[in-house]
Amino acid sequence: MAKFKKGQVVRLKSGGPDMTVKTVIGAEKKMPFTMIDEAWKSKGLKDGDPICVWFEGNTSKEDGFDVDLLDLVK
């Protein structure tokens, strides 16, 4: 079971902006999600790791994080 769920607000334990969990790797078991998950896994992530979105000024950013690096904010 994933530690975080889509829509939750998280932050890196080391600080930084609040981020919203967009999806969790392995949560969806059908195409095209499985292909997207494989692309994230090729970057070193694993099932249960969240893909997060946040803003820097007016620009939205997106990245995946190891679940152990994040704390739940809300």
**Tokens standing for 55?**
């803003």
Where in the sequence is the domain holding 42, given as residue range(s)? 9-72
Residue 41, domain member (yes or no): yes
Q: Which residues of 9-26 are buried (b: 16+ CB within 10 A; e: fewer)?
A: ebbeeeeeeebbbebbbb
- Cis peptide leading into 17, omega within 30 of 0? no
The tally of domains found in the chain comes to 1
**Per-residue pLDDT tens listing for the chain (74 residues):** 579 999 999 999 999 999 999 999 998 887 787 888 889 999 999 999 999 999 999 999 999 999 999 999 97
pLDDT of 34:
85
Taking the C-alpha atoms of residue 14 and residue 1, their distance in angstroms, rounded to an integer, is 24
Residue 19, domain member (yes or no): yes
Residue 45, domain member (yes or no): yes
pLDDT of 1:
57
Residue 27, domain member (yes or no): yes
